[in-house]
Protein backbone atom coordinates (compact mmCIF):
# COMPACT_ATOMS: atom_id res chain seq x y z
CA UNK A 1 0.00 0.00 0.00
CA UNK A 2 2.84 2.43 0.86
CA UNK A 3 4.44 1.79 -2.51
CA UNK A 4 1.12 2.44 -4.27
CA UNK A 5 0.60 5.71 -2.38
CA UNK A 6 4.18 6.80 -3.02
CA UNK A 7 3.80 5.96 -6.71
CA UNK A 8 0.54 7.91 -6.91
CA UNK A 9 2.18 10.91 -5.25
CA UNK A 10 5.06 10.77 -7.72
CA UNK A 11 2.72 10.57 -10.72
CA UNK A 12 0.59 13.43 -9.43
CA UNK A 13 3.66 15.61 -8.90
CA UNK A 14 4.82 14.90 -12.44
CA UNK A 15 1.43 15.65 -13.99
CA UNK A 16 0.43 18.57 -11.75
CA UNK A 17 0.76 21.71 -11.34
CA UNK A 18 -22.39 18.76 8.14
CA UNK A 19 -24.22 17.63 14.25
CA UNK A 20 -23.09 18.78 17.59
CA UNK A 21 -19.74 20.47 17.56
CA UNK A 22 -16.83 21.02 19.92
CA UNK A 23 -16.11 24.58 21.01
CA UNK A 24 -14.27 26.77 18.55
CA UNK A 25 -10.53 26.27 18.72
CA UNK A 26 -7.79 28.80 18.15
CA UNK A 27 -6.34 28.70 14.63
CA UNK A 28 -2.82 27.68 13.81
CA UNK A 29 -0.71 30.69 12.81
CA UNK A 30 0.22 30.75 9.13
CA UNK A 31 3.92 30.70 9.98
CA UNK A 32 3.81 27.50 12.06
CA UNK A 33 6.03 24.89 10.43
CA UNK A 34 4.29 21.58 9.94
CA UNK A 35 5.55 18.14 10.78
CA UNK A 36 6.89 15.99 7.96
CA UNK A 37 3.96 14.44 6.12
CA UNK A 38 3.43 10.71 6.03
CA UNK A 39 3.25 8.95 2.68
CA UNK A 40 -0.58 9.05 2.80
CA UNK A 41 -0.64 12.69 3.89
CA UNK A 42 1.79 13.63 1.14
CA UNK A 43 -0.26 11.74 -1.46
CA UNK A 44 -3.46 13.48 -0.31
CA UNK A 45 -1.86 16.92 -0.58
CA UNK A 46 -0.18 16.17 -3.91
CA UNK A 47 -3.45 15.06 -5.49
CA UNK A 48 -5.42 17.98 -4.01
CA UNK A 49 -2.75 20.41 -5.25
CA UNK A 50 -3.05 18.96 -8.75
CA UNK A 51 -6.75 19.87 -8.68
CA UNK A 52 -6.20 23.56 -7.86
CA UNK A 53 -8.02 25.54 -10.53
CA UNK A 54 -10.80 22.98 -11.01
CA UNK A 55 -14.18 24.71 -11.05
CA UNK A 56 -16.54 24.71 -8.08
CA UNK A 57 -19.72 22.70 -8.61
CA UNK A 58 -22.30 22.24 -5.87
CA UNK A 59 -22.55 18.48 -5.24
CA UNK A 60 -19.53 17.86 -7.47
CA UNK A 61 -17.11 15.07 -6.60
CA UNK A 62 -15.07 14.56 -9.76
CA UNK A 63 -12.74 16.44 -12.07
CA UNK A 64 -15.70 18.14 -13.79
CA UNK A 65 -16.15 20.16 -10.59
CA UNK A 66 -16.02 19.90 -6.80
CA UNK A 67 -17.74 21.18 -3.74
CA UNK A 68 -15.66 21.16 -0.53
CA UNK A 69 -16.61 17.70 0.74
CA UNK A 70 -16.62 16.27 -2.78
CA UNK A 71 -12.98 17.33 -3.15
CA UNK A 72 -12.11 15.55 0.12
CA UNK A 73 -14.07 12.45 -0.95
CA UNK A 74 -12.42 12.31 -4.37
CA UNK A 75 -8.87 12.76 -3.08
CA UNK A 76 -9.25 10.22 -0.28
CA UNK A 77 -10.84 7.63 -2.59
CA UNK A 78 -7.95 8.00 -5.02
CA UNK A 79 -5.40 7.23 -2.32
CA UNK A 80 -7.41 4.22 -1.14
CA UNK A 81 -9.27 5.74 1.83
CA UNK A 82 -13.02 5.85 2.33
CA UNK A 83 -14.66 8.93 3.83
CA UNK A 84 -18.28 10.06 4.20
CA UNK A 85 -19.77 12.49 1.67
CA UNK A 86 -20.64 15.63 3.65
CA UNK A 87 -18.38 17.98 5.63
CA UNK A 88 -20.33 17.35 8.86
CA UNK A 89 -20.19 13.56 8.42
CA UNK A 90 -16.47 13.77 7.61
CA UNK A 91 -15.89 15.75 10.80
CA UNK A 92 -17.82 13.23 12.91
CA UNK A 93 -16.04 10.23 11.37
CA UNK A 94 -12.48 11.59 11.35
CA UNK A 95 -10.02 10.84 14.13
CA UNK A 96 -9.65 14.20 15.94
CA UNK A 97 -6.34 15.99 15.59
CA UNK A 98 -5.33 18.90 17.84
CA UNK A 99 -4.86 22.03 15.75
CA UNK A 100 -1.35 22.33 17.17
CA UNK A 101 -0.50 18.92 15.65
CA UNK A 102 -1.79 19.38 12.10
CA UNK A 103 0.07 17.47 9.41
CA UNK A 104 -0.27 17.78 5.65
CA UNK A 105 -3.22 15.68 4.54
CA UNK A 106 -5.31 16.35 7.66
CA UNK A 107 -8.76 17.86 7.24
CA UNK A 108 -9.74 21.24 8.68
CA UNK A 109 -13.41 21.87 9.44
CA UNK A 110 -15.21 25.20 9.46
CA UNK A 111 -18.58 26.45 10.61
CA UNK A 112 -20.64 29.30 9.28
CA UNK A 113 -22.41 31.52 11.75
CA UNK A 114 -25.06 28.80 12.17
CA UNK A 115 -22.62 26.76 14.28
CA UNK A 116 -22.86 23.64 12.09
CA UNK A 117 -19.84 22.28 10.24
CA UNK A 118 -20.47 23.22 6.64
CA UNK A 119 -17.02 23.51 5.08
CA UNK A 120 -13.90 21.37 4.92
CA UNK A 121 -10.43 21.73 3.46
CA UNK A 122 -7.25 19.68 3.19
CA UNK A 123 -4.35 21.02 5.24
CA UNK A 124 -1.29 21.41 3.03
CA UNK A 125 1.22 22.64 5.62
CA UNK A 126 2.56 25.95 6.87
CA UNK A 127 -0.88 27.28 7.81
CA UNK A 128 -2.44 26.73 4.37
CA UNK A 129 -5.22 24.47 3.13
CA UNK A 130 -6.74 23.49 -0.20
CA UNK A 131 -10.51 23.70 -0.66
CA UNK A 132 -13.40 24.28 -3.03
CA UNK A 133 -14.72 27.51 -1.49
CA UNK A 134 -18.02 28.36 -3.18
CA UNK A 135 -19.72 29.03 -6.51
CA UNK A 136 -17.61 31.19 -8.76
CA UNK A 137 -14.31 30.33 -7.05
CA UNK A 138 -12.24 27.36 -8.21
CA UNK A 139 -10.36 24.91 -5.99
CA UNK A 140 -7.65 26.99 -4.36
CA UNK A 141 -5.35 27.53 -1.41
CA UNK A 142 -6.37 29.61 1.62
CA UNK A 143 -4.71 30.64 4.88
CA UNK A 144 -5.96 29.35 8.25
CA UNK A 145 -4.88 32.67 9.77
CA UNK A 146 -6.98 34.79 7.41
CA UNK A 147 -9.64 36.64 9.41
CA UNK A 148 -12.60 34.72 7.94
CA UNK A 149 -11.15 31.22 8.29
CA UNK A 150 -9.56 31.88 11.68
CA UNK A 151 -12.98 32.98 13.00
CA UNK A 152 -14.79 29.93 11.58
CA UNK A 153 -12.23 27.13 12.16
CA UNK A 154 -13.81 24.45 14.37
CA UNK A 155 -11.60 21.38 14.40
CA UNK A 156 -9.29 19.07 12.51
CA UNK A 157 -9.33 15.37 11.76
CA UNK A 158 -7.55 12.58 9.96
CA UNK A 159 -8.51 9.46 7.99
CA UNK A 160 -5.01 8.18 7.23
**Residue 104 CB partners (closer than 8 Å, separation 6+):** 34, 37, 41, 42, 44, 45, 123, 124, 125
Catalytic residue among 4, 18, 76, 131: 131
Single out the catalytic residue among 4, 18, 76, 119: 119
- Catalytic residue (choose from 4, 18, 68, 76): 68
117 sits in which H/E element: strand 117-125
68 catalytic, yes or no? Answer: yes
Tell me the angle at which helices 39-50 and 2-15 cross, rounded to the nearest 10 degrees: 30
- Please indicate whether residue 131 is annotated as part of the active site: yes
Within a 10 A sphere around the Cβ of 141, how many other Cβ atoms?
13
> Could you list the active site residues?
68, 119, 131
Amino acid sequence: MRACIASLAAVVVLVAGCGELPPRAAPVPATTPSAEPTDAGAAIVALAASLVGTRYQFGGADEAGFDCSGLVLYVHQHVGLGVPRTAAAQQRAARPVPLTELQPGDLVFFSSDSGAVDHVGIYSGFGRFIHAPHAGVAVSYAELASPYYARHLMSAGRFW
